[in-house]
Structure 1
């Protein structure tokens, strides 16, 4: 199989490594595929902790009708070296995300420039 993984491109052709998705590759059938890389702890794999999110944006990386997969690695701490943990990969899974059920979270948000804009300050001081 001759698969050539690349960082995905936005609709403007920019290569981008942040946000969903991590890798784009074309398979032997000339089909585009998207791959997300994840790690998990077996102790909380059955919990409701958020493990996947997708936020469409102006420079969205999903630009084709493609298969969506995730490769997930079970990671455990097996020791320490000084102040650092030593990790071991115990298992892996490849998931087909086509049937993944998603929740929609409507959210209002702001960045620091908007939040601390001079027009919003009612009072301020030094301590």
Structure 2
């Protein structure tokens, strides 16, 4: 076999090797290029997020939020998409709601002034709120013209935590009133400390109706474990002015990360 014949014999194999090598080299180069582009995009997104965070913090600080006040009705409308109507005691549905709340509040104050009240076994007055809410709900719901429940979120589940605590519906008219009971110490009635909180939410908002919003304040004497409940006040939140406190927060899980630990005493198992 001549050299030319041998060359022609092996030529297809050589061409295959060259083509395969070129393909693999191109694929490797393409993968490397894709990795570089992905890394560049990731770094760009991280940079954009950092810039966005920086801009957001500066924007919040520039607003002087703690120096401003907002109409609570506007906050509810903007965050929940629902109107907050003034409470009109002269209108028939509201008169019925007012009578039911007044009667229930009188009864609940008397009930929890008894020595047999379950709140006597509690250490903190905040723990007593649940008992007042439950008893108010049962007594108002017992009114034949009303339906009183724990407000539902957008997914249809009842949620105890968060504003408001109770939803009252006048069955015949469909009129809705939200009621938020609060316990406060009589001597602190004029305190400027924060005692009312509303957190705007999208998916878990409990404000799902155009409604009137009432707060039922129940006063006590501050005698821990032996509280005497003095009376109650019902206020319309339609004219309430609120302030916004912007703060950054973290949990213990966020704080006590092993990689952030600098020093400490030996851990006990």
* TM-score bracket, shorter-length normalisation: 0.7 to 0.9
- Calculate the TM-score normalised by the size of structure 2: 0.41
Q: State the aligned residue count.
A: 121
Q: Alignment partner for residue 49 of structure 1, among 190, 193, 198?
A: 193
Distance 1:125 1:87, change over 3 A: closer
- Larger RCO (alpha carbons 8 Å, 6+ apart): 2
C-alpha distance in 2 between matches for 1:45 and 1:111:
32
Alignment of 1:24-103 (within 5 A): 24-27=167-170, 28-57=172-201, 58-77=203-222, 85-103=225-243
The structure where strand makes up a greater share of residues is 1
SS of the residue corresponding to residue 93 of structure 1 reads: strand
C-alpha distance in 2 between matches for 1:60 and 1:91:
30
SS of the residue corresponding to residue 98 of structure 1 reads: helix
C-alpha distance in 1 between matches for 2:255 and 2:264:
17
Q: Which has the larger radius of gyration?
A: 2
TM-superposed CA distance for 1:122, in Å, is 4.7
Structure 2 residues not aligned, in runs of 5+:
1-95, 97-144
Moved over 3 A (4+): none
SS of the residue corresponding to residue 221 of structure 2 reads: strand
RMSD: 2.0
C-alpha distance in 2 between matches for 1:126 and 1:22:
44
The structure where helix makes up a greater share of residues is 2
